[in-house]
Amino acid sequence: MWAIIFADLLSLRTAPQKVFQLTLQIMEVAMKEVK
């Protein structure tokens, strides 16, 4: 899963807005995993 996320970050490094949205998604997943 994390490998896919890092690959997306690398491919989106020229699109800050999409990177920001992806970061929010990562935070949501992290919160769910904690619970």
Range of the domain at 7: 2-34
Say whether pLDDT at 12 is over 70: no
Note the pLDDT of residue 3.
Answer: 78
Element at 6 (helix H, strand E)? helix 2-11
**Can you tell me the distance from the alpha carbon of 6 to that of 34, in angstroms, rounded to the nearest whole number?**
21
Say whether pLDDT at 14 is over 70: no
Q: Helix or strand or coil: residue 20?
A: helix
Does 9 or 24 have the greater pLDDT score?
24
Note the pLDDT of residue 28.
Answer: 92
Structural domain count of the chain? 1
